[in-house]
Amino acid sequence: MNEKFFDLKKEKQDRIINAALKVFAENGYRHCSTDDIVHEAGISKGLLFHYFGSKMNLYEFLYDYCVKFLSMELKGSISSDEKDYFNIMQNAETAKRNVLRSYPHMQAFIDRSMSEDDEDAIDNTSNLREELQSIYDGLLGRVDSSSFRKEADPAQVHTMLQATLSTIMRDQLQSTAFNPDHYYDEGMKYINMLRSICY
């Protein structure tokens, strides 16, 4: 990647990043068209390749950017000594809302990458995938599950909550006016409902 990308005005950087996140999230790496990205960003194809060189370089840059941005927001939103599962999830959703205010398709990009079928895209981002997974594993690893009712299996609760939040995200992004605050409010309803059932 051409480091001069960061010399661009922040508005233009974000316009390019958001366009690429959206197109990759909707199509996956293999079927993503750089023509669609430049059209969405309102820039020339030559400019895109001037800064990134190739579609793969752009994809790797985006993944790295996502990991760094998400990590920063999570660390800023979740206390290092928090052990309550639902407090961690609530704070993680606060971090996600903050991310989505700047980059509405960042979580969708990450979610889509989990089902990526292009071997080169998978291989070239494997370290970044592991880094991101390690961050989430670290959050879950500190959970004190002793507050859960005996009938509530923490792993099953987590799987259920993540599936629910992903569905809310997908539905919200398909609406004509995506609003991170609406996503957050809807997610909180399910987190609080599960908290009342599981504790």
Confidence bin at 93 (pLDDT 50/70/90): very high
Mean pLDDT for 135-146 is 93
Query: Whose CA is closest to 43, among 69, 7, 6, 8?
Result: 8
Spatial distance between the Cα atoms of 67 and 53, rounded to a whole number of angstroms: 21
CB 69 within 8 Å of CB 106:
yes
| Tens of pLDDT, residues 25-76 | 999 999 999 999 999 999 999 999 999 999 999 999 999 999 999 999 999 9
Q: Which residues contact 127 (CB under 8 A, 6 or more apart)?
A: none
Q: Taking the domain 3-198, which CATH number applies?
A: 1.10.357.10
Q: Is 42 left (phi over 0), alpha (psi -120 to 50) or beta?
A: left
Crossing angle for the helix pair 154-174 and 180-198, to the nearest 10 degrees: 160
| pLDDT over 70, % of the chain | 99
Q: Which residues contact 179 (CB under 8 A, 6 or more apart)?
A: 172
In 153-179, which residue ranges form alpha helices assigned H by DSSP? 154-174
The answer on pLDDT for 163 being more than 80 is yes
pLDDT computed for residue 177 by the predictor? 81
pLDDT computed for residue 2 by the predictor? 63
Q: Whole-prediction pTM value?
A: 0.89
The answer on pLDDT for 1 being more than 60 is no
Q: Which residues contact 23 (CB under 8 A, 6 or more apart)?
A: 32, 33, 36, 37, 40
Domain boundaries, the chain: 3-198
The answer on pLDDT for 130 being more than 70 is yes
